[in-house]
Amino acid sequence: MSELEPLFREEHDAYRQAARLFVSNEIAPHVEEWERQRDFPRDLFEKVGGAGFFGAKFPEHWGGTGPDYAAEAVWIEELSRAGSYGTASDLGAHSQLAALYLDRFGDDDQKNRYLRPSIEGRLLGALGVTEPDAGSDVSAIKTWARRDGAEWILNGSKVYITNGARADYVVIAAGTSDDSGHEGITLFIVDTATPGFDRNRMKMIAWETSHTGELFLNDVRVPDANRLGDIGAGFRQIMANFQWERLMMSLGAVALAELSLETAIDYARERSAFGRPIIKFQVWQHRFADLAVRIRTGKALTYRALRHHIAFEDGVDVGREELVRLTSMAKLYTQRMAWQVADECVQVHGGAGALKEYPAQRYWRDARVGSIGGGTDDIMRNLIARTMGLGAA
């Protein structure tokens, strides 16, 4: 009998239990306070690392327990369900972006210095690609690295860098060739304590606990030993990792939407109007049913893309274009879905939907970021259209 291979095995159920317990002990009880303070303590990274939850996708040699991408997906789902998206995003930028770049493109010396302590949660990382004048269009970045003997001198600025305002190192994308663009970008591991490196924490209307930063590099000297991968390989490196980042965002959005819906249903059971709990009104029952369908559909698509990713990592020839297509679709579908679900969930709260006392408005604000970060909805549509033989010739 042929079957769809289950994404999660028995060991993943155990991992989920452990993750859920960790989140309910170490994160969930503090979420409201952290959100009020628009901050969360740095030592959460060490707790997560100490408990092993940064390790699932990394090899044992560097302190991980994998690579097991299904386990990593479990962690993302459980972490997202804590309901503090800004916190999850900082942890994600550290682990899914910076540390993953080191694992993929770093040499042993770099992995020893940066990857191992990142998995332990002692050293915090971020990824710096986006600039004030270059968002989705990565090839347009202006930050520049000039070689000076065994060092590089970096100048430029970065913006919207998740975890960037607190990170100990940032993987920075910089131009290294006159014919900038696709072949002219190189990655560097930049210690944020280096002279000439300045930053601000940005104040945003969403992801309020996150340390999203604006970075300024003014003659920052970086040893060539901190060049991550080959000169000119940066664009390809960034593109290669986008699939994983977008998958993680999809998993997170689905979990946020689930949480949002559960919270709204609980509220609708308690809140009465016209003499009965508002859950008794058929329009709300049906609306909730519709939302549940959209969430479940997004989840099915995300899991399908994740299956392809795992197969791809296992060396199965799934076709890179098919992986990009499904991942782009999952990202496009889930980010908007999560926000639309959260929007309806604010609606059921009525006036309370506008109150900070209830998390509904926060889920709604936080979900909105998803259609912008990690490649906008329109970029996803462009990518998908291209796989269909559509778009500009």
Partner 1 sequence: MQLSPFTEEHDLLRKAVGEWVDTEIAPHLAEWEEKGDFPDDVFHRAGELGFLGLSFPESAGGQGGDYWAQVVFLEELGRVSQAISMVLSVQTDMATPPILEFGTQEQIDKWLKPAFRGELIGAIGITEPDTGSDVASIRTHAARDGDEWVLNGSKMYITNGARAHFITMVVRTGEPEEANPWAGISMFIVDTSLPGFTVSKKLEKAGMKMSDTALLYMEDVRLPADALLGVEGEGFRQIMWELQGERMGVSVFGVAGARAIVEEATKYARAREAFGRPIGEFQAVSHRLAEMATEVEAVQSLIYECCDLWNRGIYATEEIAMAKLAVGQLSNKVADEALQVFGGAGLVEGTSISRAWLGARIGRIGGGSDEVQRQILARIMGIG
Catalytic residue positions, numbered: 245
Residue 292 sits in the site that holds partner 1 (CB under 8 A): yes
Q: Are 248 and 230 in contact (CB under 8 A)?
A: no
Cα–Cα distance measured from residue 213 to residue 201, given in angstroms and rounded to the nearest whole number: 5
Residue 277's H or E segment, with its range, is strand 276-277
Residue where the block lists tokens 């009998």 = 1
Q: Does 314 interact with partner 1 (rule: CB under 8 A)?
A: yes
β-bridge mates for residue 191, sequence order? 169
- Lookup: tokens for 229: 């991968």
**Residue 259 binds partner 1, judged by CB under 8 A:** no
Return d(Cα 38, Cα 365) in angstroms, integer: 14
In whole angstroms, what separates CA 337 from the centre of its chain?
A: 17
316 lines the binding site for partner 1 (CB under 8 A): yes
Q: Quick check: 273 binds partner 1 (CB under 8 A)?
A: no
Contacting residue, 286, 320, 321, 350, with partner 1 by CB under 8 A? 286
Cβ at position 279, least distance to partner 1 in Å: 5
- Please, are residues 100 and 59 in contact by the beta-carbon 8 Å criterion? no
Segment lying near partner 1 (by CB under 8 A), choices 73-81, 229-237, 296-304, 362-370: 296-304
Integer-rounded Cα Rg, in Å, for the chain is 21
Least separation in angstroms between CB 372 and partner 1: 16
Binder of partner 1 out of 303, 339, 363, 364 (CB under 8 A): 303
10 scored as a contact of partner 1 (CB under 8 A) = no
56 scored as a contact of partner 1 (CB under 8 A): no
Q: Which is nearer to partner 1, 12 or 111 (CB)?
A: 12
Q: Under a CB-based contact definition with an 8 Å cutoff, are residues 99 and 125 in contact? A: yes
User: Alpha-carbon distance 176 to 160, whole Å?
Assistant: 22
- Residue 182 DSSP SS3: coil
Applying CB under 8 A, among 139, 155, 194, 285 the residue interacting with partner 1 is 285
> Could you tell me which residues come within 8 angstroms of residue 277 by beta carbon, excluding any fewer than 6 positions away?
268, 269, 270, 271
How many residues of this chain interact with partner 1, rule: CB under 8 A? 48
Q: Does the protein bind partner 1 through residue 393 (CB under 8 A)? A: yes
Distance in angstroms (rounded) separating the CA atoms of residues 173 and 126: 12
The reply on whether position 181 binds partner 1 by CB under 8 A is: no
The residues in 331-390 that bind partner 1, with binding defined as CB under 8 A, are 332-333, 378, 380-382, 384-385, 388-390
The single residue listed with the structure tokens 């998803």 is: 370
Distance of CA 155 to CAs 216, 228, 233, 287, Å?
A: 8, 17, 19, 52
Q: Is 290 in the site for partner 1 (CB under 8 A)?
A: yes
In the complex, least distance from residue 108 CB atom to partner 1, rounded to whole angstroms: 29
Report the residue from 76, 170, 301, 348 that binds partner 1 according to the rule CB under 8 A: 301
Choose, by CB under 8 A, the member of 308, 349, 362, 365 that binds partner 1. 308
Q: How far apart are CA 341 and CA 296, in angstroms?
A: 12
Q: Which stretch binds partner 1 (CB under 8 A): 2-10, 92-100, 131-139, 236-244?
A: 2-10
| Contacting positions for partner 1 (CB under 8 A) | 1-5, 265, 268-269, 279, 282, 284-286, 288-290, 292-293, 296-298, 300-301, 303-304, 307-308, 310-311, 314, 316, 318, 326, 329, 332-333, 378, 380-382, 384-385, 388-393
